[in-house]
Structure formats: C-alpha cells, structure tokens
Amino acid sequence: MTRRYDEILATMPPGLDKKILRILAGHLGENNRISRGDLVKLALYKFSDNDITETDDRLVRETISRLRHDGHLICSSSGTGGYYMASSYDDVENMRAEMESRAMDLLEQSRTLKKRATEWFGAQLKMKI
C-alpha cells in the first residue's frame, strides 16, 4: 500500500467500517443499492456532494475493500453503480465475475507493457540488495 493510502487510513474515523456495514445492511440486493456519493455522505457526515473530497471518496472505497477482504459480501457493479449487500449467491457471483474480468484485463495490460518495454529497452536485470 502506498504512503498516501497509509495516511488516509490513519485519519479514518474510529468505527467507520462498522458505520459502513450498518448503512449497507439497509441496502440488501442490487435493486436496493446506494450510490457511492450517498454512502460517503452518510458515513462521513457530509451534507452535500460539494462537501465530499477525493480523500473522503478514497477513504470509503478503501474501507469497503478492507471489509471485502474480511469476507463481507459487499457488492457493486460498474454498470449500475452503487453498493449493496448480497442478497443471493448470484449477487456474489456477478460481482466476482466482474472483478475477475477486470483483473484479467489488468494482467493482460501488464504483460503487454512488459513485452513492449523489453522490445524498446531490452531485458533489464535487477539485483536485490
């Protein structure tokens, strides 16, 4: 994790993870999703979209990522936006398939970048010290 994310997490209000889970408990299933902006406002006591900073948004996304790593079934879709708690196995499977697709695309981009860099600059050896 980069230093910036460490700084963001260090400024996380106590109990933000629990607050986000409480909010999402009222948003069960894809048809009951909450927009990221509304989630940020509720979780961080913001009153309007203009009050939300990039850091606020990043903080909530990082918290959701950590909660997912802990096994909470928080779903989202890049097509429809918003967050919700899974109400069925299909909710989780759809989310997992989208994540896997994105991961595979990033892996392919990484391979292409490495191949092109090797063509342009030659293979580089790095020694670990």
At residue 13, the pLDDT reads 66
Q: What is the dihedral of CA 25, 29, 35, 41, to 10 degrees?
A: -10
Domains of the chain by range and CATH?
3-110 (1.10.10.10)
Residue carrying structure tokens 């759809």: 94
Written as six digits, the tokens of 122 are 């030659």
Q: Walk along the chain (129 residues) and give the pLDDT tens digit of each residue.
A: 455 556 655 666 668 899 999 999 999 999 999 999 899 988 987 777 777 788 888 889 999 999 999 999 999 988 888 999 999 999 999 999 999 999 999 999 999 999 998 888 887 766 677
Question: Is the pTM of the predicted complex or chain greater than 0.85?
Answer: no
Q: How far apart are CA 65 and CA 92, in angstroms?
A: 15
pLDDT score of 1: 45
Q: What is the reported pLDDT for 9?
A: 59
